Amino acid sequence: MNALDTPAPAPAAGELAGRTAVVTGAAQGIGRETALLLARAGAARLILLDRDADRLQAVTKETGDLGAETVPLAVDLRERDAVRGALRTALRAAGPLHILVNNAGVADENGPDDEETWLRVLDINLHGTFAVTAACLEHLTDHGRIVNVSSILGKAGKMRNTAYCASKHGLIGYTKGLALDLASRGITVNAVLPGWIDTPMLRREIAASAEEIGADPARMLRQARKSIPLRRLVEAREAAELIGFLVSDRAAAVTAQSLTVDGGYTRGM
Ligand SMILES: NC(=O)c1ccc[n+]([C@@H]2O[C@H](COP(=O)([O-])OP(=O)(O)OC[C@H]3O[C@@H](n4cnc5c(N)ncnc54)[C@H](O)[C@@H]3O)[C@@H](O)[C@H]2O)c1
């Protein structure tokens, strides 16, 4: 282990005992780590949604082995009727819902006049989050928890990323508004803003950028690490840890907030 690496933190065993959670984008990356963390913390039932049926099945086995009864929903967020139908069936069977983590997202680049990508990215990242949340609301208990996974690009711009930036800025606004709508029931709604998390999404982005400018992806990765004050990429499980805190009883007074996990990359922005 590198001296700057952190040991895997032990989740508070049993902290989420008996809870039911929905996690979207759970087949890999931050969503998978979140599902595993919830299972380790004692969640009784997990409803995991992702369009990647094979990887979702593998995560379902992992969380099942950790003791969480897990229902995989292999649907694409863009197929709204299928999403609503699958969630309705799963939630009716599961009983009250305590936790919703809206994590699924895509980071496709677009030029300023590329409407097709604009509509697709907004459809998945922003409207997809709305649709899942709307379908879950009637099942969510008082004092329930919602976490929306935005991005450091929810607060800043990036070239060739108008769609992604707009979707992630939108999620922060959505989080703040929804937090006020649900506050009287003790439900908290917060946004997590990851940056430079070592996931398949980041590896794809770095490979694509390197190819575009004819650079070596390994060199770009080294440069990325250097630009981060902690001198390393943040692990997906570390983003999951922040989500785990926000859905716990310890965070009952934290709502309408946007919390960044980026190794200091944005210098406290
Ligand atoms: N990795 C980073 O550096 C980083 C930085 C900022 C924000 N984020 C955000 O964190 C979240 C998770 O990112 P990640 O890095 O784990 O990504 P990832 O690509 O590794 O995983 C995303 C998951 O979402 C699923 N998904 C995507 N579109 C879907 C759709 N239409 N329907 C159903 N499932 C769909 C994918 O199949 C995949 O399993 C995303 O919202 C992303 O924007 C990541």
H/E segment holding residue 250: none
Q: Which CATH architecture has domain 20-195+235-260?
A: 3-Layer(aba) Sandwich (3.40)
Q: Is the pLDDT of residue 6 over 90?
A: no
What distance in Å separates the CA atoms of residue 2 and residue 115, rounded to the nearest whole number?
44
Q: Which residues pair with 102 in a beta bridge?
A: 148
| Beta strands at 45-50 and 69-74: parallel, antiparallel or unpaired | parallel
User: 3-class SS at 207?
Assistant: helix
Tell me: the pLDDT tens digits for 94-122?
999 999 999 999 999 999 999 999 999 99
DSSP 225-237: HHTSTTSSPEEHH
Marked catalytic residue, from 164, 174, 196, 265 = 164
H/E segment holding residue 249: none
**In which band, very low, low, confident or very high, does the pLDDT at 212 lie, cut at 50, 70 and 90?**
confident
Q: Which residues, other chains included, contact 97 with Cβ-Cβ below 8 Å and sequence gap of 6+?
A: 20, 21, 22, 91, 136, 139, 140, 141, 144
- Distance between Cα 197 and ligand 1 center (Å): 11
Radius of gyration of the chain (CA): 18
- Look at residue 160 in the predicted model and tell me its pLDDT: 95
> Please, what is the average pLDDT of the chain?
95
- Distance between Cα 76 and ligand 1 center (Å): 13
Active site residue 265: no
Work out the widest C-alpha separation in the chain, in whole angstroms.
54
Q: Is 124 in the pocket of ligand 1 (CB under 6 A)?
A: yes
* Under 8 Å between Cβ of 102 and 31: no
| Ligand 1 atom nearest residue 196's Cα | 3
Average pLDDT of span 9-34: 90
Q: Which residues, other chains included, contact 258 with Cβ-Cβ below 8 Å and sequence gap of 6+?
A: 150, 154, 155, 172, 175, 190, 191, 192, 193
What distance in Å separates the CA atoms of residue 45 and residue 105, rounded to the nearest whole number?
23
Domains of the chain by residue range: 20-195+235-260
Q: Is 205 in the pocket of ligand 1 (CB under 6 A)?
A: no
**In which band, very low, low, confident or very high, does the pLDDT at 227 lie, cut at 50, 70 and 90?**
very high
- Look at residue 178 in the predicted model and tell me its pLDDT: 99
- How many other C-beta atoms lie within 10 A of the C-beta of residue 266? 17
Tell me: the pLDDT tens digits for 118-149?
999 999 999 999 999 999 999 999 999 999 99
Helices (H), 11-161: 29-40, 53-65, 80-94, 115-122, 128-137
Q: Which residues pair with 147 in a beta bridge?
A: 101, 190
Q: Which range is least confidently modeled, 65-74, 176-185, 205-214?
A: 205-214
**In which band, very low, low, confident or very high, does the pLDDT at 88 lie, cut at 50, 70 and 90?**
very high
Q: Is 127 in the pocket of ligand 1 (CB under 6 A)?
A: no
Q: Is 78 in the pocket of ligand 1 (CB under 6 A)?
A: yes
* Under 8 Å between Cβ of 150 and 172: yes
User: 3-class SS at 194?
Assistant: strand
Q: Is the pLDDT of residue 237 over 60?
A: yes
Backbone angles phi, psi at 253, to 5 degrees: -100, 5
| Beta strands at 69-74 and 97-102: parallel, antiparallel or unpaired | unpaired
Structure tokens that stand for 79 in this block: 């197929």
Q: Which residue has the tokens 């008996």?
A: 18
pTM here is 0.96
Q: Is 144 in the pocket of ligand 1 (CB under 6 A)?
A: no
